[in-house]
Structure 1
Amino acid sequence: MSGTAPEGATPGFLVWRLSMKWRVAVDRAVAPLGLTHAQYALVASLYGMQRSGERPSQRRLADHTGLEPLYVSKLARGLESAGLLERARDPRDPRAVQLALTEEGRAATRRAIGVVQGLLAQLLEPLGGPDGARARELTRDLTALLDTPLDPAAAGPRASGEE
């Protein structure tokens, strides 16, 4: 899809296309740093949480990023092997694994955040840039959509193709 949206495109389709466009762009932008989009989401979130004084568990990081806990565990093991983060048992809960970026991980994450912020500025330029009123409005709208619970079972007959 280049240029404009196909006629009759639904908001769901447009959200999906935008998310795919963003994922591909971030993947390409952080690849030279040895990261994938999913790894970036994990380390950037962890970076922010650590700066706030938190040492989150894998479960907490999964909830924060929206990634599946099993996938976060797999990503964390790979990032640990690369020397970018440390995994340790939570002393308060032996079933939980806490995560923390290493010094190398913090440095790589700072570089990646700079690259992704540049991409975000490009993406939001048509809306007046990241600090523009339209971008703030978009952020509010996206937050409202993310806060709306979805229950596929409650979608009714249309979900099964029946009318």
Structure 2
Amino acid sequence: MSCGEPFRPPDVVKLIERQRAARWMKKGKLCVDLEIRRHKLRQQKARLPPSQDSSSLISQTIRRASETTAELNSSETHISVEESVLERECREDLLKEGSISATHNLYHQPKVKRVLVHCNGGDITQSVYVWGRTIDEVTPCICLQEMWNPQ
């Protein structure tokens, strides 16, 4: 028996890292696309109607130009993409809350340790695995195996 995380071969770890990087790249591209869409929508909302008389010095009330169907479609797609991103983030947060708390470290050391014990200068094939939380718990186990005399 062993404790801790199971062994992962290096190629599996590299594959996981590549997948994680690909997800971050995809998320980055999506965020940039959303920022561009937000910028376009802001610019469209600030667009002024074409002036009939540019030489007129009389102040006029400024009215916003009517939106075209392309602008309406782009705003609708922008809203739907933002909603899907928010839903995905909520689902990811729920999954993360169940497995790892934000107040804990990413990796927890087990309370009980497994130690390989062998006599100094002795044969390593005669070594023994001993379990314990402290050195006081490990020492009696070693004495029971008659490997070491604590006196």
TM-score, normalized by length of structure 2?
Answer: 0.29
Normalized per residue, which structure has more helix?
1
TM-score, normalized by length of structure 1?
Answer: 0.27
| Greater Rg by CA | 2
